[in-house]
């Protein structure tokens, strides 16, 4: 069985930086890391394929960055496909999906895994867009995935609980964070990652016009960026054994107790 | 008059709250058509009409198929005949599925995480970033209708007194294999207290609790106050509590009267989900924690001391 996992390399969420006033997007001149949300998909893929299967990473960046990919390869993925092209800068969700779908077609997997959403853009539509572009059935927001013969059985998160869903392969599944415990790369894994194949493509290699992605392809414009109405901080006090009393008084004033 | 289409979600004829919120905004912008998957459109027609929809386009029964592929294909075909100016979805599990498929079918871009829509020389979406400290206004520039995904609780649901919506059944194009995922079982997870996104009091715990067992203090406090327990993404990812507890950009958006954040530092992703609370109480040992910048009452202290004392003081 071959599983393709979509992974994104993002600025460290602990230090997300700032918006570039020129381009009106997040500054990305920092080192990129593997989106933690994607580590769950990588781990799930490794568990699903076992000893005999193959895990292929699929990713795109504007700047040749491989740091995050190396991390996922060190976890145990077998190889990676990286689409890197200057023209990808500013790509929206649909453009991103078009590029990833084209890259996934290069590897013809039985199953495509993705996170439900990235930790920097949060659009949460890319997995379903990839599925539609590839003509695949899909199950999103999976909290448990089992391969049963030629299909997957998925527990899918819902507003009130969960649904059990059966879906024939090939298919796409998006997984919620916390579904599995991502492994830490071992020293051996880190060393092995250095010699694993990373196939790199430009947009031209994939037959994608540069005008359909990036800024040009997004067909939206940022009209303005404004500070949101600020919420003012109230009373901040050091607990000297009486912190709970202050909370009780506050709750009484709010008529909660 | 502009034609605005919205995604309507229903359960056994009852319209979901987020759908009613979308309707409250959509009817200000133009004539509203609701599109819907399932067999209960007739039952929902009165409520949808009362909130401002003049028409429901429905797929009818989908034989336990997930609604995304069928509804997106049917709506894309209809939209190519009628050219709506904008298509609105709530940010829900189902909404994102349909929106993603529809954007591909129509080759239409999506603007996500919207909390307000401004009708100003073309519809403009307002998206909060950096923990809600900054708003980004974005609008579409292309020829096709744009798709907006709107966060829960952005608008206030209110009846407008309209007559029942007319019901029209959509024809579903051939889906190929895309429609082959089938629901085999549905499970509703019952909880004792109020629902997280509807509770007047929410008590949330984060990494500062130290270990999973300490979440029991959060459950207890929520129980005593008649509220719902919530959690930061950090402890959901760590597996301490289920995904359904998560408050934040990735989880539920809450706007209770009182929000108590215990051992939560206030990462961007969390603040976006609770910043709209009427009042906020924060307990954290780090005086520099960002959560204090939006708290009405901040206690700089150890949750392992403050929470037990608080539980004892409130009594039963």
Q: H or E stretch including B217?
A: helix B215-224
Q: Which residue in A120, A213, A220 has the most chain B C-beta atoms within 10 A of its own C-beta, making it the best mutation to test that interface?
A: A220
Q: How far is CA A41 from the centre of its chain?
A: 9
CATH of the domain at B142: 3.40.50.620
| Set of chain A residues whose Cβ sits within 8 Å of the Cβ of B239 | 178, 181
Q: H or E stretch including A4?
A: strand A2-6
**B267 shares its domain with B226:** yes
Residue A178 and residue B296: Cβ atoms within 8 Å? no
| Set of chain A residues whose Cβ sits within 8 Å of the Cβ of B16 | 159
| Set of chain B residues whose Cβ sits within 8 Å of the Cβ of A164 | 183-187
The band of A210, judged by pLDDT with boundaries at 50, 70 and 90, is: very high
Find the closest chain B residue to A167 by CA distance: B181
Nearest by CB to residue A164, choosing from B112, B184, B257, is B184
Chain A, window 191-250: residues with a beta carbon less than 8 angstroms from a chain B beta carbon: 218-228, 230-231, 233-239, 241, 243-248, 250
Q: Give the other-Cβ count within 10 Å of B122's Cβ.
A: 14
**B134 shares its domain with B263:** no
CA pair distance B210, B171, nearest whole angstrom: 54
Query: Is the pLDDT assigned to residue A28 strictly greater than 70?
Result: no
Look at residue A16 in the predicted model and tell me its pLDDT.
Answer: 60
Mean pLDDT across the stretch A192-208? 96
**B153 shares its domain with B21:** yes
Look at residue A32 in the predicted model and tell me its pLDDT.
Answer: 87
Judged by a CB distance cut-off of 8 A, whether residue B140 touches chain A is yes
Q: What is the pLDDT of residues A128-144, one digit of tens each?
A: 999 999 999 999 999 99
In a domain, residue B274? The reply is yes
Q: Say which residue, A68 or A90, is predicted with more confidence.
A: A68
Q: What is the pLDDT of residues B50-95, one digit of tens each?
A: 999 999 999 999 999 999 999 999 999 999 999 999 999 999 999 9
Query: Is the pLDDT assigned to residue A17 strictly greater than 70?
Result: no
What angle do the packed helices A36-49 and A67-75 form, to 10 degrees? Answer: 30
Chain B, window 65-104: residues with a beta carbon less than 8 angstroms from a chain A beta carbon: 66, 68-69, 72, 91-93, 96-97, 99-101, 103-104
Look at residue B192 in the predicted model and tell me its pLDDT.
Answer: 75
In a domain, residue B192? The reply is no
Q: What is the pLDDT of residues A108-167, one digit of tens each?
A: 999 999 999 888 877 899 999 999 999 999 999 999 999 999 999 999 988 888 999 999
Domain that holds residue B19: 3-169
Query: Is the pLDDT assigned to residue B119 strictly greater than 90?
Result: no
Q: H or E stretch including A11?
A: strand A9-11
β-strand B201-205 against B53-58: which pairing, if any? unpaired
In a domain, residue B188? The reply is no
In a domain, residue B88? The reply is yes
CA pair distance A213, B63, nearest whole angstrom: 37
Look at residue B67 in the predicted model and tell me its pLDDT.
Answer: 96
In a domain, residue B190? The reply is no
Query: Is the pLDDT assigned to residue B43 strictly greater than 70?
Result: yes
Domain extents in chain A? 2-218
The band of B40, judged by pLDDT with boundaries at 50, 70 and 90, is: very high
CATH of A2-218, one of 3.40.50.620, 3.40.920.10, 3.40.50.300, 3.40.50.720: 3.40.50.620
Q: Answer yes or no: are the C-beta atoms of A163 and B64 closer than 8 Å.
A: no
CATH of the domain at B219: 3.40.50.1220
| Set of chain A residues whose Cβ sits within 8 Å of the Cβ of B183 | 163-165
Look at residue B307 in the predicted model and tell me its pLDDT.
Answer: 97
Residue B281 and residue A233: Cβ atoms within 8 Å? no
**Cα–Cα nearest to A145, from A119, A117, A176:** A176
**B162 shares its domain with B233:** no
């Amino acid at each position: 069985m071959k599983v393709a996992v979509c992974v994104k390399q993002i600025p460290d969420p602990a230090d997300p930086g700032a918006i570039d006033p020129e381009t009106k997007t997040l500054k990305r001149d920092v080192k990129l890391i593997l989106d933690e949300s994607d580590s769950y998909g990588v781990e799930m893929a490794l568990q699903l394929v076992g000893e005999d299967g193959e895990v292929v990473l699929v990713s795109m960046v504007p700047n040749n960055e491989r740091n995050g990919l190396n991390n996922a390869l060190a976890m145990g993925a077998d190889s990676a496909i990286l689409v890197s092209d200057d023209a990808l800068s500013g790509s929206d969700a649909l453009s991103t999906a078009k590029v990833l779908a084209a890259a996934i077609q290069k590897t013809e997997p039985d199953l495509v895994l993705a996170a439900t959403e990235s930790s920097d853009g949060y659009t949460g539509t890319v997995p379903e867009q990839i599925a539609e572009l590839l003509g695949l059935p899909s199950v999103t927001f999976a909290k448990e995935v089992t391969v049963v013969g030629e299909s997957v059985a998925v527990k899918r998160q819902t507003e009130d609980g969960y649904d059990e869903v059966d879906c024939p392969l090939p298919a796409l599944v998006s997984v919620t964070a916390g579904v599995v415990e991502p492994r830490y790369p071992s020293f051996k894994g880190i060393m092995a990652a250095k010699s694993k194949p990373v196939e790199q493509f430009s947009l031209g290699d994939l037959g994608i016009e540069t005008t359909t992605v990036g800024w040009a392809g997004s067909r939206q414009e940022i009209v303005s960026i404004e500070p949101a109405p600020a919420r003012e901080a109230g009373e901040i006090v050091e607990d000297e054994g009486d912190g709970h009393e202050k909370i009780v008084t506050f709750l009484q004033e709010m008529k909660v107790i | 008059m502009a034609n605005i289409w919205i995604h309507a979600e229903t359960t056994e004829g009852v319209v979901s709250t987020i759908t009613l919120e979308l309707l409250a905004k959509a009817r200000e912008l133009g004539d509203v058509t609701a599109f819907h998957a399932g067999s209960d459109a007739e039952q929902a027609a009165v409520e949808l009409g009362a909130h401002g929809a003049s028409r429901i386009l429905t797929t009818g029964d989908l034989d336990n198929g997930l609604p995304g592929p069928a509804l997106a294909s049917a709506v894309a075909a209809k939209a190519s005949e009628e050219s709506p100016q904008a298509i609105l979805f709530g940010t829900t599990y189902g909404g994102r599925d349909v929106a993603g498929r529809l954007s591909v079918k129509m080759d239409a871009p999506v603007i996500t995480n919207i909390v307000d829509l401004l009708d100003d020389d073309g519809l403009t979406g307002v998206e909060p970033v950096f923990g809600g400290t900054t708003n980004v206004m974005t609008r579409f520039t292309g020829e096709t209708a744009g798709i907006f995904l709107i966060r829960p609780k952005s608008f206030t649901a209110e009846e407008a007194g309209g007559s029942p919506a007319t019901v029209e059944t959509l024809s579903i194009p051939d889906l190929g294999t895309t429609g082959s995922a089938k629901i085999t079982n549905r499970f509703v997870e019952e909880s004792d207290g109020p629902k997280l996104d509807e509770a007047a009091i929410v008590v949330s715990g984060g990494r500062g609790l130290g270990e999973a067992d300490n979440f029991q203090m959060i459950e207890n406090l929520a129980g005593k106050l008649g509220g719902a327990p919530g959690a930061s993404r950090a402890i959901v990812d760590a597996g301490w509590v289920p995904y359904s507890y998560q408050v934040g950009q990735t989880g539920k958006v809450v706007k209770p009267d009182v929000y108590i954040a215990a051992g939560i530092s206030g990462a961007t992703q969390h603040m976006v989900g609770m910043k709209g609370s009427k009042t906020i109480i924060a307990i954290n040992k780090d005086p520099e924690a960002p959560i204090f910048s939006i708290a009405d009452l901040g206690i700089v202290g150890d949750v392992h001391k403050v929470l037990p004392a608080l539980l004892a003081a409130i009594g039963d």
